[in-house]
């Protein structure tokens, strides 16, 4: 018996694996799950993953970026010779109040697929790894897909070490407290060179499969998306003793930023613009704020459209701030260009999956980051609500099983070529 139940989890059953972690990181205030990187819930999820991987005979390592790699090596080979590896997996961290499928479904399905491949008698001729990427959501340190970006060398380690969470603690401090060595983060070209394909299974974040009435799809593209930190500074004062004409109220400017983002986004067909997080300082009901921090998330298939929207909102915000006697700084936290998944790989997998539909997505993924450096594909599993980043996110048991079968078919194809 181990921390979470029977010593040997149900074989080939992603539903059972997900059920084992359903109690980890539940959020009694927001609902759903809150599992930020380097938190106790995320640590528990890492322990769960390692237990489930080791009981499957996988050799687990944690690299300098905190990425977990659980290896199934071909018989008769040893670790240093790993090359042409096939990697699958996803993430275990969540947004605040998220669902139990965004990330964990891909990890559980990958573990279950190892069972299925073994049951089918597949003997890989190349290594297979199940990987877990940390801080995919960027919920703690602000940069999305932080682990995969570090691995790919597209974010500077010094910048990452200095990133702060909402308590002001740096990545370096928090990761060290969690038992990692922040001096070790950074690009790992040798590891990337040893990987010949990456496949990520993920719950669909949208209703494409519901509308098509299909359980599983392949990903076509991820639309460009980025996040910008807007800091507005004014003059704090007393809510009752300060005449309206004498105010420099940053909250008023924040309202203008949000109005402007909505208007600029609606003016561009199929653009998406969101402000989901605002921090007012000091945050008293009877206090005129001294500063406001808010974060914009802007997405569109055209990268130019994203940058045009952000520039227009910045200009309108700065004009409003000048008239209110406030100052504004807008800084880009992360940006992901539009990603087209490798067509030749996608087409090959489509034949393996008997013409699974191909869907684009507005959600970012580690697969989107790695697609620049490794042939990468994604599988989506139907989400009946289509909702995500909310407790309403879901996936049906039969569709989850269909996803495991599809991932197993894809991995069998890639492992035995």
Residue whose CB is nearest to Mn ion in the complex, by number: 102
**CB under 5 to 8 A by kind: which of Mn ion, ligand HGY, none does 326 bind?**
none
Task: In angstroms, give the least distance from the CB of 88 to Mn ion.
Answer: 14
Task: In angstroms, give the least distance from the CB of 171 to ligand HGY.
Answer: 18
Q: Is residue 200 a contact point for ligand HGY (CB under 6 A)?
A: no
**In terms of CB distance, is 96 or 234 closer to Mn ion?**
96
Binding mask 360-389 for ligand HGY (x = CB under 6 A): ---xx-------------------------
**In terms of CB distance, is 144 or 381 closer to ligand HGY?**
144
| The two structure tokens encoding residue 243 | 């005449």
Task: In angstroms, give the least distance from the CB of 136 to ligand HGY.
Answer: 6
**In terms of CB distance, is 20 or 137 closer to ligand HGY?**
137
Binding mask 30-49 for ligand HGY (x = CB under 6 A): --------------------
**CB under 5 to 8 A by kind: which of Mn ion, ligand HGY, none does 20 bind?**
none
Among 131, 144, 410, 411, binds ligand HGY (CB under 6 A): 144
**In terms of CB distance, is 115 or 393 closer to Mn ion?**
393
Write out the residues near Mn ion by the rule CB under 5 A: 102-103
**In terms of CB distance, is 136 or 399 closer to ligand HGY?**
136
Among 44, 115, 137, 393, binds ligand HGY (CB under 6 A): 137
Task: In angstroms, give the least distance from the CB of 35 to Mn ion.
Answer: 11
**CB under 5 to 8 A by kind: which of ligand HGY, Mn ion, none does 51 bind?**
none
**CB under 5 to 8 A by kind: which of ligand HGY, Mn ion, none does 144 bind?**
ligand HGY
Spell out the SS3 assignment of the chain. CECCECCCCCCCCHHHHHHHCCCCCECCCCCCECCCCCCHHHHHHHHHHHHHHHCCCCEEEECCCCCEEEEECCCCCCHHHCCCEEEEEECCCCCCCECCCCCHHHHHHHHHHHHHHHHCCCCCCCCEEEEECCCCCCCCCCCCCHHHHHHHCCCCHHHHHHCECCCCCEHHHHHHHCCCCHHHCCCCHHHHHCEEEEEEEEECCCCHHHHHCCCEEEEEEECEEEEEEEEEECCCEECCCCCHHHCCCHHHHHHHHHHHHHHHHHCCCCCEEEEEEEEEECCCCCEECCEEEEEEEEEECCHHHHHHHHHHHHHHHHHHHHHHCCEEEEEEEEEECCEECCHHHHHHHHHHCCCCCEEEECCCCHHHHHCCCCCEEEEEECCCCCCCCCCCCCCCHHHHHHHHHHHHHHHHHHHCC
Task: In angstroms, give the least distance from the CB of 275 to ligand HGY.
Answer: 14
Residue given tokens 């890639």 in the structure block: 414
| The two structure tokens encoding residue 145 | 């897909």
**In terms of CB distance, is 41 or 99 closer to ligand HGY?**
99
**In terms of CB distance, is 110 or 144 closer to ligand HGY?**
144
Task: In angstroms, give the least distance from the CB of 403 to ligand HGY.
Answer: 17
**In terms of CB distance, is 20 or 102 closer to Mn ion?**
102
Q: Taking the CA atoms of the chain, what radius of gyration do you get in angstroms?
A: 22
- Which residues make up the interface to ligand HGY (CB under 6 A)? 136-137, 144, 363-364
């Amino acid at each position: 018996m181990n921390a979470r139940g029977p010593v040997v989890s149900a074989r080939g059953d992603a539903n059972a694996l997900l059920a084992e972690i359903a109690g980890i990181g539940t959020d009694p205030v927001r609902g759903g799950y809150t599992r930020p990187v380097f938190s106790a819930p995320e640590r528990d999820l890492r322990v769960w993953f390692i237990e489930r991987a080791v009981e499957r005979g996988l050799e687990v390592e944690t690299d300098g970026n905190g990425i977990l790699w659980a290896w199934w090596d071909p018989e008769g080979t040893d670790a240093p010779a790993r090359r042409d590896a096939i990697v699958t997996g996803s993430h275990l961290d969540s947004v605040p109040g998220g669902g139990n499928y965004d990330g964990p479904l891909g990890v559980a399905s990958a573990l279950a697929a190892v069972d299925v491949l073994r049951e089918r008698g597949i003997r890989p001729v190349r290594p297979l790894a199940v990987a877990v990427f940390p801080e995919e959501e960027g919920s703690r340190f602000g940069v999305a897909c932080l682990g995969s970006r570090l691995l790919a060398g597209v974010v500077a380690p010094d910048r990452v070490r200095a990133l702060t969470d909402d308590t002001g603690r740096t990545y370096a401090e928090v990761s060290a407290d969690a038992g990692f060595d922040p001096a070790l983060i950074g690009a790992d070209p040798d590891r990337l060179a040893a990987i010949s394909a990456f496949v990520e299974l993920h719950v669909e974040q949208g209703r494409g499969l519901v509308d098509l009435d299909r359980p599983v799809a392949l990903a076509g593209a991820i639309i460009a998306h980025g996040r910008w930190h807007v800091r507005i500074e004014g003059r704090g004062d007393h809510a009752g003793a300060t005449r309206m004409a004498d105010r420099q109220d940053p909250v008023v400017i924040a309202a203008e930023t949000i109005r402007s983002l909505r208007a600029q986004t609606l003016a561009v067909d199929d653009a998406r613009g969101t402000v989901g997080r605002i921090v007012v300082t000091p945050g008293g009901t009877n206090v005129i704020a001294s500063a406001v921090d808010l974060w914009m998330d802007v997405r569109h298939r055209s990268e130019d459209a994203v940058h045009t929207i952000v520039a227009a909102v910045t200009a309108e915000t700065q004009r409003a701030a000048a008239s209110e006697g406030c100052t504004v700084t807008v800084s880009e936290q992360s940006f992901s260009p539009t990603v087209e998944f490798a067509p030749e790989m996608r087409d090959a997998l489509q034949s393996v999956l008997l013409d699974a539909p191909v869907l684009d997505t507005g959600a970012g993924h580690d697969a989107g980051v790695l697609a620049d450096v490794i042939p990468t594909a994604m599988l989506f599993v139907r989400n009946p609500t289509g909702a995500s980043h909310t407790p309403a996110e879901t996936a049906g048991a039969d569709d989850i099983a269909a996803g495991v079968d599809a991932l197993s078919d894809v991995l069998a194809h890639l492992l035995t070529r």
